Amino acid sequence: VDEATPKHGYHHGDLRRALCVAGYELARHGGLHAVTLREATRRAGVTAAAAYRHFSGLDDLLLAVAHLGLGDLARSIERRQGLVAETEQVPQAVALLEAVGLGYIDFARAEPGAFETALSGLATMEHADDADSTGDSGRTPYQLLTDAIGRLVAIGALPPERAEPAAVLCWSTVHGFATLAVRGPIRTYPAATLDALADELVRGVVTGVLDQESSLDQNRRPSGSSSPRSAS
Amino acid sequence: VDEATPKHGYHHGDLRRALCVAGYELARHGGLHAVTLREATRRAGVTAAAAYRHFSGLDDLLLAVAHLGLGDLARSIERRQGLVAETEQVPQAVALLEAVGLGYIDFARAEPGAFETALSGLATMEHADDADSTGDSGRTPYQLLTDAIGRLVAIGALPPERAEPAAVLCWSTVHGFATLAVRGPIRTYPAATLDALADELVRGVVTGVLDQESSLDQNRRPSGSSSPRSAS
DNA sequence: TGTACATCAGTGAACGCGCGTTCACTGATGTAC
DNA sequence: TGTACATCAGTGAACGCGCGTTCACTGATGTAC
């Protein structure tokens, strides 16, 4: 992800790459909305039409930019996981799952524009097998999440049929916090407060997911479990 | 929120209202991005410049549209709260808080475009005291949340100093799920599955928030509770 | 009650903007003989 | 090794688009006498 090194090989060298990087920079500073074919080509020192040699159109560039964001998100998670100390099997596996959530929140707070772009729904996160969308371990953010949960299943801390709902619940929780911390009402909180809240949130959801009693008996309470639809 | 009833009183009747409604309709069908001064005025059967008699510009209209969305969101929450059966103090208060989350998720799923617009950060949710942003009870979505939590505090189910973090955690969790259910990876899940997941999620977070043991001792585990910043 | 006037909501035309996309082109690169 | 040629990455000009915003205007409304 280094800039303005045109390493001439052919005409431009690797214009596709340069456009991706320029687009990603735009995303970082102005969010999804700021990523534009014309501005990306301008940054790359090239005519707008040149982009069409490497992308089918704007959407194609946006997708590539989103993949770059997912890669950085994966690296942010990997960094947190790298800090997990070795200990007994279960607590370590728990810590690795918590690191997924904490790294996710780190990235959203450090790079709100890139986060917004990566998670805007352009790249369907599960199927993002693009090389750019993986971290140093070669895994996408989603794979890092499912791997951490798979590990808990493997050591018997989570029943296999709970793996998928667990992934959804963890991801929802962390994603919501990240969103609110970036452009929601808690964006003005001091960083230390957000750190503490993030820790608590992540610990809470992981604990909840592993707690059989609260997660297995879905019909615990008789009050309406179906949903009234259509608002106003 | 009815359409095309110009109830002539002055020139147009109430053009400001008509433009809000037209803009809200655009938001419902196409999301924030689809709300445009020109299209809203077109829908209202009026020249684009006419909007400037009632709004200072596009942002002003967007804010008004977001407030309408918050109002519908509040009503969606109130609908869920209306279904809560009378029972003992604590379980009823718990059910009222859960209803906030469930109504929030209902609204996001039923009206994704309106949801996106209302929560896009235009209206700072806590300070949205506009009349349009309140439900039938005269309270905004945020007030409905803090009221439900305040009730738990009042009956001694939650220590007062936990009220604010509890609000943040509940909101984050529910908001994340709503986002992922609307345009995230679980948007393709069958409705019944999402219903079940939403129930589980909401119950889980409320339980977690009320569970003193997991929420009060913040330094339970020694592993890093500060945060490494800056990604990539 | 009727007329003159001030107000002001909505008009219609125009502005500049940046965008995505197209097209015939040019000129550097790599290849065939 | 040198020349002729095909390839194709990037050019530059142009297209139409819808947007937000401005401006002098008009004509209906409400008010003062």
Per-residue pLDDT tens over the stretch B45-85: 999 999 999 999 999 999 999 999 999 999 999 999 999 99
> What is the pLDDT at residue B228?
57
Across the interface, do B231 and A180 touch by the CB < 8 Å criterion?
Answer: no
Q: Distances from the Cα of B191 to the Cαs of A34, B42, B196, in angstroms? A: 34, 36, 9
Q: At residue A62, what is the residue type?
A: L
Question: What's the mean per-residue pLDDT of chain A?
Answer: 88
Mean pLDDT value across residues B85-89: 97
> What is the pLDDT at residue B8?
41
Element (H, E) at A110: helix A89-110
Chain A residue whose CA is closest to B230: A110
A184–B contact, CB cutoff 8 A = yes
Rounded CA gap, B109 and B181, in Å? 7
Contact in structure between B108 and B115 (CB atoms under 8 Å): yes
Predicted TM-score (pTM) of this structure = 0.89
Chain B residue whose CA is closest to A217: B200
Contact in structure between B185 and A126 (CB atoms under 8 Å): yes
Q: Is the pLDDT of residue B41 over 80?
A: yes
> What is the pLDDT at residue B212?
58
As a three-state string, the secondary structure of chain B is CCCCCCCCCCCCCCHHHHHHHHHHHHHHHHCHHHCCHHHHHHHCCCCHHHHHHCCCCHHHHHHHHHHHHHHHHHHHHHHHHHCCCCCCHHHHHHHHHHHHHHHHHHHHHHCHHHHHHHCCCCCCHHHCCCHHHCCCCCCCHHHHHHHHHHHHHHCCCCCHHHHHHHHHHHHHHHHHHHHHHHHCHHHHCCHHHHHHHHHHHHHHHHHHHHCHHHHHCCCCCCCCCCCCCCCC
Mean pLDDT value across residues A75-101: 98
Check if residue B49 sits with its Cβ under 7 angstroms from strand C: yes
Pairs of CB atoms within 8 A across A/B = 187
Rounded CA gap, B197 and A6, in Å? 49
Q: CA-to-C1' distance for B209 and D20, Å?
A: 46
> What is the pLDDT at residue B207?
93
Contact in structure between B179 and B108 (CB atoms under 8 Å): yes
Across the interface, do A107 and B231 touch by the CB < 8 Å criterion?
Answer: yes
Contact in structure between A153 and A91 (CB atoms under 8 Å): no
Measured N-to-C along each axis, helices B89-110 and B163-183 cross at an angle, to the nearest 10 degrees, of 30
Residues 51-110 of B with CB under 8 A from A: 72-73, 75-76, 79-80, 83-85, 95, 102, 106-107, 109-110
Check if residue A36 sits with its Cβ under 7 angstroms from strand C: yes
Q: Is the pLDDT of residue A212 over 80?
A: no
Q: At residue B162, what is the residue type?
A: R
| Through-space distance between the first and last CA atoms of chain B, rounded to whole angstroms | 47
Contacts of B17 (CB under 8 A, 6+ apart): none
Comparing CA positions, the residue from A170, A197, A69, A177 lying closest to residue A123 is A69
B176–A contact, CB cutoff 8 A = yes
Which of A172, A184, A229 has its CB closest to that of B177?
A: A172
Check if residue A9 sits with its Cβ under 7 angstroms from strand C: yes
Which of the two residues, A191 and A123, has the higher pLDDT score? A191
Residue B186 with chain A: CB contacts under 8 Å: 168
- Indicate the pLDDT class of residue A125, thresholds 50, 70 and 90: confident
Pick from B58-62, B91-95, B106-110, B207-211: least confident = B207-211
Contacts of B205 (CB under 8 A, 6+ apart): A173, A204, A205, A208, B101, B169, B170, B173, B174
Question: What's the mean per-residue pLDDT of chain B?
Answer: 88
> What is the pLDDT at residue A211?
83
Q: Which residues of A99-125 are buried (b: 16+ CB within 10 A; e: fewer)?
A: bbbbbbbbbbbbbbbbbbbbbbbbbeb
C-alpha of A173 from chain center: 13
pLDDT tens-place string over residues A159-207? 999 999 999 999 999 999 999 999 888 999 999 999 999 999 999 999 9
C-alpha of B94 from chain center: 19
Grouping H, G, I as helix, E, B as strand and the rest as coil, residue A136 is: coil
3-state helix, strand, coil in chain A (%, to 5): 70, 0, 30
- Indicate the pLDDT class of residue A4, thresholds 50, 70 and 90: very low
Which residue of A173, A194, A213, A230 is the best one to mutate when testing the B interface, meaning the one whose CB has the most B CBs within 10 A?
A173
Rounded CA gap, A230 and B109, in Å? 8
pLDDT tens-place string over residues A19-53? 999 999 999 999 999 999 999 999 999 999 999 99
> What is the pLDDT at residue B227?
53
Q: Is the pLDDT of residue B1 over 70?
A: no
Which residue of A227, A229, A230 is the best one to mutate when testing the B interface, meaning the one whose CB has the most B CBs within 10 A?
A227
Which of the two residues, B64 and A214, has the higher pLDDT score? B64
> What is the pLDDT at residue A122?
83
> What is the pLDDT at residue A213?
54
Q: Which nucleotides of C are covered by protein (CB under 7 A)?
A: 8-14, 18-24, 28-30
Pick from A10-14, A228-232, B114-118: least confident = A228-232
Rounded CA gap, B168 and B146, in Å? 10
Pick from A16-20, A63-67, B186-190, B221-225: least confident = B221-225
Q: Is the pLDDT of residue B22 over 50?
A: yes
Across the interface, do A229 and B177 touch by the CB < 8 Å criterion?
Answer: no
Check if residue B58 sits with its Cβ under 7 angstroms from strand C: no
Element (H, E) at A178: helix A163-183
Q: Which nucleotides of D are covered by protein (CB under 7 A)?
A: 8-14, 18-24, 28-30
Residue A214 with chain B: CB contacts under 8 Å: 203-204, 207
Measured N-to-C along each axis, helices B191-210 and B163-183 cross at an angle, to the nearest 10 degrees, of 170
Which of the two residues, A158 and A229, has the higher pLDDT score? A158
Contact in structure between B170 and B160 (CB atoms under 8 Å): no
pLDDT > 90: what percent of chain A?
79
> What is the pLDDT at residue B125?
75
Q: Is the pLDDT of residue A220 over 60?
A: no
Across the interface, do B191 and A232 touch by the CB < 8 Å criterion?
Answer: no
A190–B contact, CB cutoff 8 A = no
Q: Nearest 5 degrees, angle CA B169-CA A72-CA A132?
A: 135
Locus of tokens 């009042």: B154
Contact in structure between A73 and A146 (CB atoms under 8 Å): no
pLDDT tens-place string over residues B193-222? 999 999 999 999 999 999 855 444 444 444
